[in-house]
Structure 1
Amino acid sequence: MTEFRWELPVRGDGRHVGSASAHRGGFEFLDQVVLAAELSGLDGVVAPYDPAGEESWVVAGSALRRTRHLRVGVEFHPAFGTPVYAAKLSATLQRLSAGRLDWRLRVETGAADAAARGDRVTGVDRYRRAAEFLTVARGVWNEEQVLPGRFGGTGFEFAGEYYDVIDGGFRGILSGLPFPGVHLSGNSQEAIELSAGHGDVHIFDETGDGVEDGVASLRDTATASGRTVRAGLALPVIARETEGEAWARVLRQWREVRPEAGAAEVRALALDGFRWSGFDQIGYPRPVGLVGSYEQVAQALSNYRARGIEIFELTGHPHIEELHRTGEHLLHLADPAGRILAGQENHA
């Protein structure tokens, strides 16, 4: 079944673009967004890594406590801490949430962000470290129940380039839990190879060139490793009853940045298939997303599904309002059979 998730506004939210906006923020507001996602029928939410936003682990923990059905992804950088610490923290969250936690490992960040975190690992070395991080995290995790007691030298052992573990592994209440689903991202070959060897889901960004080549490369690389990895796509979305209403919304937001702009300037950034490449200029983290009527956006999502995309990470602002629009008007058009089944399961 196709999954739809929502990226949470860890930096706050508002109706307008730019620093002059009256932002809604704080955990009370984030809780409202999370509950709106569950009530709207989405399958999950993602707490993104944002140096200027709330800490993603805290946001994810709160979201897990507030919901019953949503899967919750926490995005973090491998330099966040040791893989053993990340695994132990996750084991506790899995116990509290009946196993609904996912990881979204952020391998690439800007040079300024890395310097601010005191992280000296650069280039392809970041991917070698991430591979070790995931190897160690899985190694200390016991999905079978293990009785507490002295390790006695029979635990997990690892000697690597970045991490060394001697007699590691979880016992007692920290064992017997499902390991978080591992979501990775990036369009580079290094990113795809990391997912092929260690990931469960690979999230692409739409660049305007389509997703076919990336999905095919992911599939072939994972198959060569004897694995299957699901493909996902992160997309901002502006959908309304009519195409004209959707573009009017885009123009209103655009004019908050460029007050004298006309519709032609906005339309000049339109790509084929209801894609638009100006989202990053009106406050979104990614440049390319979808604009159109509910039927048009649903058709675009269905076209992505036909090209191998199984998971969509959507976003829109203001978040609560856009979540309700997505749940009420879009999801049943984009995935009618899946939404019926999901609704029956939730009702049961």
Structure 2
Amino acid sequence: MSLHITGMIWARPTSDLEPPSGEAFQPDFIEAITRAHEDAGFDRVLAGYWTNAADGFLVLAHAAAVAKRIGFLLAHRPGFVSPTLAARKLATLDRLTGGRLALHVISGGEDADQRKDGDHADHAARYRRTDEFLDVVRRVWSAAAPVSHRGEFYHVENAWSDIRPVHGSLPIFFGGASEAALGVAARHADVYALFGEPLADTAAVLDRVRAAAQGRPIAFSWSNRPILGATEKQAWDRAHHIRERALAKLRGAGEAGLIAAGQAVNSQRLIGLSRRGEVLDERLWTAMAGVLGGRGNSTALVGTPEQVARAMLRYRAISVSHCILRGWDPLPDAAEYGRELIPLLRALDADAGAGRVSVAARPVAA
């Protein structure tokens, strides 16, 4: 499978290094950051889900109006919109984009964050609900007759949608490291998404997902936030400066220390990495996972563009075909990735596919 590279967009300038600025919804910024990713050669951009931020459906609808090539990945939490309505909303957005939409399903790993939107289901229930939600959505998209369903969370009668996705369905991205998450991924995921863990840890998760899927094909996505420099020393100096800026932001917000570790299993895994060592696999930098409480995509490959690209190729060798890359300074970093990293990564990937570059087929456990 060819390499797919996904970036990330927001409705306003924001990062882990600077406080948000301006209005919560800035159409000009959506246009700028979407075009920056399209110009940089990304395949898709992801609109995330936050309980305090602009609605991702509308962010991507605006992005699709200004970018005519790049694809879109929408993060969506089941539980707040009925699956029949979600099926129509997603199909409508996919039609608006000309068939460029994929869906990233986020069941939710933090109880307190779920309660902000009125969801009091526990962790296990959220994953059972996601399973049922995706069953209904896909039935609505493929149905030749009205759909009725009675389950634990949803009861619908004679549901029908006149609008369907351009290609009949949408690619489903799914993440989560708990056993409940793996069960849902095994049944529904087209692409299983992991955060930026070392090679051996990543390979172990891939094996778990494949075992759970019992032969159903699943692609894999690996997330990272590369930090580049003209020399390796410059890259590491930049990484340490990024950490200082993040800590300064926390101090400016009145935080007494680092962000507390999150409840989600993925957050706990990333915190565990930061405690194992600040640098793993030669250049996987874990310090920011410790600063940010393991939340989100918070590890970084650090080095020259070629060093980072070759490190990423090692994940390709263990069957990772998708990468979600975002920078610490989102707009300038997207442009830098387009100049320095993405063309080199694609060229080296093509050489590896043709046998002109040798990479290890399997990582050696630490």
Normalising by structure 1, what TM-score? 0.84
Residues 26-37 of structure 1 aligned to structure 2 (within 5 Å):
26-37=26-37
Pair 178,99 (structure 1): closer, same or farther in 2 beyond 3 Å: farther
User: 1:80: which partner in 2?
Assistant: 80
Q: Deviations over 1:207-253 (max 9, x none)?
A: 4563001111112222x2x5211111111111122211211211222
RMSD over equivalenced CA pairs, Å: 2.5
What stretches of structure 2 of length at least 5 have no aligned partner?
A: 249-276, 352-366
Aligned partner of residue 142 in structure 2, secondary structure: coil
Residues 302-341 of structure 1 aligned to structure 2 (within 5 Å):
302-336=313-347
- Measured after TM superposition, the shift of residue 49 of structure 1 is 0.7
What stretches of structure 1 of length at least 5 have no aligned partner?
A: 147-153, 260-267, 341-348
Out of 193, 202, 209, the position equivalent to 1:203 is 193
What code does the residue aligned with 2:123 have?
G
For 1:89 and 1:321, locate their aligned partners in 2 and report how far apart those are by CA, in whole Å: 32
User: 1:277: which partner in 2?
Assistant: 286
Provide the aligned length of Structure 1 versus Structure 2: 318
What code does the residue aligned with 2:229 have?
R
Does structure 2 retain, via aligned residues, the 8 Å contact 1:254–1:282? Answer: no
For 1:319 and 1:85, locate their aligned partners in 2 and report how far apart those are by CA, in whole Å: 33
User: 2:262: which partner in 1?
Assistant: none
Does structure 1 retain, via aligned residues, the 8 Å contact 2:11–2:29? Answer: no
What code does the residue aligned with 1:220 have?
A
Does structure 1 retain, via aligned residues, the 8 Å contact 2:278–2:286? Answer: yes
- Measured after TM superposition, the shift of residue 176 of structure 1 is 6.3
- Measured after TM superposition, the shift of residue 319 of structure 1 is 1.6
Out of 293, 301, 309, the position equivalent to 2:312 is 301
For 1:73 and 1:61, locate their aligned partners in 2 and report how far apart those are by CA, in whole Å: 11
For 2:178 and 2:71, locate their aligned partners in 1 and report how far apart those are by CA, in whole Å: 27
Does structure 1 retain, via aligned residues, the 8 Å contact 2:189–2:218? Answer: yes
User: 2:270: which partner in 1?
Assistant: none
What code does the residue aligned with 1:251 have?
H
For 1:127 and 1:198, locate their aligned partners in 2 and report how far apart those are by CA, in whole Å: 12
Normalising by structure 2, what TM-score? 0.80
Out of 241, 248, 256, the position equivalent to 2:245 is 256
What code does the residue aligned with 2:201 have?
G
For 2:246 and 2:224, locate their aligned partners in 1 and report how far apart those are by CA, in whole Å: 21
- Measured after TM superposition, the shift of residue 23 of structure 1 is 6.9
For 1:238 and 1:205, locate their aligned partners in 2 and report how far apart those are by CA, in whole Å: 16
For 2:53 and 2:228, locate their aligned partners in 1 and report how far apart those are by CA, in whole Å: 26
- Measured after TM superposition, the shift of residue 339 of structure 1 is 7.7
What code does the residue aligned with 2:156 have?
V
Q: Deviations over 1:259-300 (max 9, x none)?
A: 7xxxxxxxx722223100122437983332211110111011
- Measured after TM superposition, the shift of residue 4 of structure 1 is 0.4
Out of 121, 138, 146, the position equivalent to 1:155 is 146
User: 1:346: which partner in 2?
Assistant: none
Deviates more, 1:123-132 or 1:205-214: 205-214
